[in-house]
Amino acid sequence: MVTNEDHAETVVTGDANCPLPMAHDRFEEAHWFLHQMMDTYHHPAIFRYSTNAFLSALKAVAEMLRTEMKANGHEVWVGQMFERFKADPVLLKFNNSRNIVIHHRSLLHGSRIETGLFRGRKLKLASRIDVDHDADSGDILSFIQSKWLGSMLDEGHSALNEQLGVRRTYLVSEISENEDVFTASNRAWSRISSVLSEAHSLLSSSFPAISEADRQAHDVDHINLLLEMDIDPGALERWGWLEE
């Protein structure tokens, strides 16, 4: 059992009796890269590298399942698994995306940026700026601060819950037509867990599938907005926002 303290959750890995140790290991590798995507969300270049690695690890789960299930005499099931992947629009897109990244080109070429004055998590007043597609959110926020503080926003932040921020959204049609890259990645990872769970059951073992609807640990809304208080730990006290 491996605990990821940074995200306050427990990652359950295969034990010594797991009948699918290689597939299980690749599944947890994909999970690790999913969290790398969370941790590097506001650093586009590193986020891109983490996404590429996630795509490869997710693909490797299926390849390891092929090897291990065939070794256990389930060749028919393996054939059915790959037919299901072809018929599943989510998993098919991720498989094709991995092939594009490995053999042709990068998929991520920037992100949609919303920056300006936020009240809570809602954008109140937007700022139009041109930024390099690999510019870190922190650098963008610093630039906005240099332009807005003392003019559009007082430096003492007298208006409660109003501060400058940068919201990013990564959208790639090859990965998903209607969801951001991170949300779609979590969906694909969850869907693979159902296949892994079924394979365990066939081998008289147990592994719980992860619900696609449960995004609590992997919710893009928890990570896509970078606010002044996120890069300045003493800001809330200095602005007088903390209750005594």
pLDDT tens-digit profile of 153-197? Answer: 999 999 999 999 999 999 988 888 899 999 999 999 999 999 999
Give me the percent of the chain exceeding a pLDDT of 90. 72
More confident residue, 76 or 174: 76
Model confidence at 100, in pLDDT bands (50, 70, 90)?
confident
Q: Output 8 or 16, whichever has higher pLDDT.
A: 16
CB of 206 closer than 8 Å to CB of 200: yes
Can you read off the two tokens belonging to residue 195? 């296949």
Residue 110 pLDDT: 74
Residue 40: both structure tokens together: 């590097």
The mean pLDDT of the chain is: 88
Q: Are 190 and 211 in contact (CB under 8 A)?
A: yes
pTM for the whole thing?
Answer: 0.87
Residue 1: the pLDDT is: 28
52 in Cβ contact with 106 (< 8 Å): yes
> Of 130, 150, 149, which Cα lies nearest the Cα of 140?
130
- Going by pLDDT thresholds of 50, 70 and 90, the confidence category of residue 61 is very high
* pLDDT at residue 26 in the model: 96
At residue 9, the pLDDT reads 43
For residue 102, give the DSSP letter: H
> Which is more confidently placed, 190 or 100?
190
- Read off the pLDDT of each residue in 67-91 and give the average, rounded to a whole number: 95
- pLDDT at residue 62 tops 60: yes
Q: How confident is the model at residue 244 (pLDDT cuts 50, 70, 90)?
A: very low
Tell whether the model's pLDDT for residue 13 goes beyond 90.
no
Compute the distance between CA of residue 114 and CA of residue 120 in angstroms, rounded to an integer: 14
Task: List pLDDT tens digits, range 121-144.
Answer: 999 999 888 788 889 999 999 999
Phi, psi of 149, rounded to the nearest 5 degrees: -65, 130
